[in-house]
Amino acid sequence: MSTALDLTPHRLKIVLVAPQIAPNTGNIARLCVATGTELHLVRPLGFVLSEKQLRRSAMDYWPRLKLTLHDDLTAFLAAICNDRVWLMTSKGKSSIWEWPVSDGDWIVLGNESSGLPDSLLSRYPDRTIRIPQAPGERCLNLSTAAGVVLFEGLRQIRVGQQVSP
C-alpha cells in the first residue's frame, strides 16, 4: 500500500550532458534509482562507466538504474523527438519555483566546469530554469542541483495530481 511517504510512478527524466566527475554521476544515478527516474548520459563522458569512484557512489543501486547512453548531443536530440526539455543553468530565465513541469519532461544538466553548451541553450531559450540562491554565490554542485530540481519537479507533479475533496 502506497502512503504519502512513497513516490508514485512518474516519467520525468534526468539528462547529464558530458559529465566530468564520476562521483557526481554516481550520486545522481543513486538519486535516479531511489526516485524511479530514468538517467540519460550524453557523451563524451569525463570518465569510464566502470570507474571505482562511480561504482562507490552508486553502490548497489547501479544494477537497478534505468540508464541510456547517447553518443553525442545530436543523438540525444534525435531521441527526445518533440518531447519537452528543461535546461538547468545558472543563467536560467525562470526559477524552479515558477517552472511549469509536466510528467514526462526531460531535465537537462550540463557538466561541472562549463555547464550546458551554448548551442543547446540557444535552441531552447525559453526552456531555461535555475535554482534560486543567495546573490553573488556560485552554482550548486551538480549532484545537489539534480536532487533539488528533481524533487521540486516531483512535488509539483504530485500536487497537480491531487484531487480536491
Domain-by-domain residue ranges, the chain?
13-128+141-158
What residues are designated binding site?
88, 110, 131
Fold annotation for 13-128+141-158: Alpha/beta knot (3.40.1280)
Does residue 26 carry a pLDDT above 60?
A: yes
Where does the chain show beta strands of DSSP type E? 13-17, 38-42, 67-70, 85-88, 94-95, 106-109, 128-130
Task: List residues bridging with 13 in a β-sheet.
Answer: 38, 106
Please enumerate in sequence order all residues whose Cβ is within 8 A of that of 128, keeping only pairs 6 or more positions apart, or say none.
86, 87, 88, 89, 91, 92, 93, 94, 121
Model-level pTM? 0.91
The pLDDT value recorded for residue 59 is 67
User: pLDDT-based confidence at 96, cuts 50/70/90?
Assistant: very high
- Write down the pLDDT at residue 54: 67
* pLDDT given at position 58: 64
CB 39 within 8 Å of CB 66: yes
Of the chain, the percentage scoring pLDDT greater than 90 comes to: 73
Q: Tell me which residue of 32, 15, 115 sits closest to 75, measured CA to CA.
A: 15
Q: What is the spatial distance between Cα 142 and Cα 110, in angstroms, rounded to a whole number?
A: 8
Please count the other Cβ atoms lying within 10 Å of the Cβ belonging to residue 16: 24
Cell triple for 145: 542541483
Return binding residues for S-adenosyl-L-methionine: 88, 110, 131
Dump pLDDT digits (tens) for 118-148: 999 999 999 999 999 999 888 899 999 999 9
